[in-house]
Amino acid sequence: MDEANDFKRVEVRFEGRVQGVGFRWTAARVAARFPVVGYVRNEPDGSVRLVAEGREADISAFLGAVGASPVGRYITRRQIEWRAPTGEFFSFDIRY
């Protein structure tokens, strides 16, 4: 596979008791272990939005590690959308 075409963007909406449990902090700490960039943010409806860009395999491993982390038990639903990357990110951050 062409390496440039392996880069993807994922937008994930996590639902459950995902606010007030250290979800954003945990996601940012986990992201530091993977070559991914993007952000995580609480949404007004109580969900958490995570946007990440990188190689598809790295993003998948990152999302798996978030799910396997202590905050993973609070996730009741994930909505995942794969898209073309925009290249707008240089790091993985917590947004407020």
Calpha distance 83→96 (Å, rounded) = 23
What are 11-60's pLDDT values in tens digits? 999 999 999 999 999 999 999 999 999 999 999 999 999 999 999 999 99
**pTM of the predicted model as reported, rounded to 2 decimal places:** 0.94
In sequence order, the 6+-apart residues with CB closer than 8 A to the CB of 44 are none
Calpha distance 42→13 (Å, rounded) = 10
Q: For residue 23, with 0-12 CB atoms within 10 Å meaning exposed, 13-18 middle and 19 or more buried, which class applies?
A: buried
Given 3.30.70.100, 3.40.630.30, 1.10.10.60, 1.10.579.10, which CATH number is that of 3-95? Answer: 3.30.70.100
Domain ranges of the chain: 3-95
Q: Which of 29, 42, 49, 78 is catalytic?
A: 42
Check: CB of residue 10 under 8 Å from CB of residue 66. no
Asked about 5 being catalytic, the answer comes back as no
